[in-house]
Homo-oligomer: A and B are copies of this chain.
Amino acid sequence: MSPWIAVDWGTTALRAWRMSGAVAQECRSSAEGMGKLAPGAFEAALLRLIGDWLGRERTEVVACGMVGARQGWREAAYRAVPARPLDAPFLTVAPEDPRFRLHIVPGLSQADPADVMRGEETQIAGFLASVPDYDGVIGLPGTHMKWARIAAGEVRSFQTCLTGELFALLAQHSVLRHGLGAGWEDAAFVAAVAEMQAAPDSLMAALFSLRAGGLLGQLSPDAARARLSGLLIGAELAATRALWQDQPVTLIGAGTLTGRYRQALQLFGQASSLTDAEAVTLAGLCAAYRKLQESPR
């Protein structure tokens, strides 16, 4: 198989794999995410990262994520759900450098309630490449958590929650920051999730108590951090319960945050399984490359 390049280009990072068929030969990444690049700066950023991977023959580059956003390299129009997570044709861009051609996987949109995703559709496709008959829910923890209902190879509906961003804003910029430590007290997380499960409408009344509890010596800084996370994730689970309850739930992610969602789901009585995010991203980009090879030119 001919060499090609897989690219995951999000808001904060750019990551590329030098591929031979479905096998990654090398992986590189840089901090030149969409959020840091002016329009017109994308080609140079990509060449800085993988310019030396390009040869005399034109190389196909397949990219997913915010590179296809309005503020990205070129806007790839959303595809409306219900839809297969990936489908040719992709948006093909001819860069100034003749040594490669870029194919951008479009994101998905939903009209009601309004929602959008870019990048997660490729991860979902990567998961479905291994489990094509999956009938259930996929959760993709991150700054913007996505919940997607999957059946018959399609994304039927989905829901984004900006819980991770809200946690970062409150922890770093609000009055609560004065009382948050760097550590973690798991009992406080568990109690906060249980509180939101029991009284899911009480979030707005619970937040300031983190600050007051610290001032009054009732809450340690580490417990406050865990409690803030538990309140927000618990409130998210309460708000999205109809979407995932009593269904198979697969979390695509890595690291601490994904583990916390799994723990919180467990506290809500919901089992879930884990799948590694990088593996499904790459599998999804491989699936996109295969579709590209199959599609008429």
Contact = CB atoms under 8 A, between A and B. Distances in A.
A114 B219 contact: yes
A174 interface: yes
Q: How many copies does the complex hold?
A: 2
Contacts of A203: 203-204, 235, 239
A162 B144 contact: no
Given A204-B232, A204-B235, 14 more contacts: A113-B212, A115-B212, A116-B211, A144-B175, A144-B208, A160-B212, A161-B204, A161-B207, A162-B176, A162-B208, A169-B169, A173-B173, A203-B235, A204-B240
Interface of A: 70, 78, 109-111, 113-116, 144, 159-163, 165-166, 169-170, 173-176, 200-209, 211-213, 215-216, 218-219, 232, 235-236, 238-240
Contact of A161 (B70, B115, B159, B205): B205
B144 A204 contact: no
A113 B209 contact: yes
B161 A208 contact: yes
A201 B115 contact: no
A114 B170 contact: no
Contacts of A201: 200-201, 235, 238-239
A267 to B, nearest CB: 16
A70 B179 CA distance: 13
B114 A205 contact: no
B114 A212 contact: yes
A175 B115 CA distance: 13
A78 to B, nearest CB: 8
B162 A114 contact: no
26 contacts: A109-B215, A110-B212, A113-B205, A113-B206, A114-B212, A114-B215, A114-B219, A115-B208, A116-B211, A116-B216, A144-B175, A160-B208, A160-B212, A161-B204, A162-B174, A162-B176, A165-B174, A166-B174, A173-B173, A200-B201, A201-B201, A203-B203, A203-B204, A204-B238, A205-B239, A205-B240
Nearest to A237: B204
A116 B175 contact: no
Contacts of A115: 208-209, 212
Contact of A163 (B200, B202, B204): B204
A205 to B, nearest CB: 4
Contacts of A169: 169-170, 173-174
